[in-house]
Amino acid sequence: MRVHRPRSAGPALPCLVSMHGGGYVMGTHLGDDGRFDAWCPRFGCVGVSVGYRLAPETPFPGPLEDCYAALRWVHRRGLDIGVDPARIGVMGGSAGGGLAAGLTLLVWVLLSADAYIAVGNAILNGVIAQAEWQTYMRRG
């Protein structure tokens, strides 16, 4: 993971957490350097590039778990790295876009016991999803 921050920034900026593309089998977080070197000073934001484990050595849900761990770290350590924890967004290109979408859904379900999401023929809420996720992870 790499944190990009403008030099003359305020104490708590919005943040973009980025997952790289590469078909889940190649690429690194270093591919975001040029983008964040330009965006952070221009838009007054912090950019966090996530390096996640790649397939085939790490099958699903490994990469998604890595992205979730990075997002949790940014949220928990936000003020330490100059991030406003209430203004964190996720993004990604190609495979990273899929991870960003999956991460958004995962966080939404995990944090909202009143929210519901349809998955195939099942309807999940946060409480059910958390129990199902734990069951799935134990099967590993």
Q: In whole angstroms, what is the distance from residue 128 CA to residue 140 CA?
A: 19
Parallel, antiparallel, or unpaired: how do β-strands 83-92 and 13-19 relate?
Answer: parallel
Q: Which CATH number fits domain 2-110: 1.10.1050.10, 3.90.1150.10, 3.40.50.12780, 3.40.50.1820?
A: 3.40.50.1820
Q: Render pLDDT for 42-93 as a digit per residue (tens, 0 to 9).
A: 999 999 999 999 999 999 889 999 999 999 999 999 999 999 999 999 999 9
Query: In the predicted model, what is the mean pLDDT of the chain?
Result: 85
- At 10 the pLDDT is 78
> What global pTM score does this model have?
0.79
Distance CA 91, CA 107 (A): 14
- Kindly give, in sequence order, each residue whose CB lies less than 8 Å from that of residue 132, ignoring residues fewer than 6 positions away: 124
Higher pLDDT, 133 or 54: 54
